[in-house]
Amino acid sequence: MRTLEFSVSYLPPGGRRTPAGRESNDVQELKKNYTLAVRDKVQVEADLLVGPASAVTRVHLVSAVFADESEWHAASEDACSMQPDRVLAVDGKESSLVW
């Protein structure tokens, strides 16, 4: 791989969603795009910082360019997308996640 293109969707500060996943009428989801150059054939690692935000709602792999210059593009916005886990361990200790 040579490059990977990602988009990160997020809610601005103060924005929130209802438990059913619906946004309130006055909150608009924002999106930032990133192109990452691949330096290691084994792993791609980078910080996808969006700035002030109340929540990251989705990370989407948009496309990839390979060493032979061939390209791959996701079939849709939903393909190759994931919602980040909103539960974080305190001080990196998984034991803090006991319910």
Least confident of 3-7, 46-50, 57-61: 46-50
CA proximity to 2, closest of 45, 29, 41, 31: 41
pLDDT 10s digits, 7-29: 999 998 876 665 555 545 557 88
Q: Please provide the average confidence, as pLDDT, over all residues in the chain.
A: 79
pLDDT 10s digits, 62-88: 999 998 999 999 999 889 999 887 765
CA proximity to 14, closest of 68, 52, 60, 40: 52
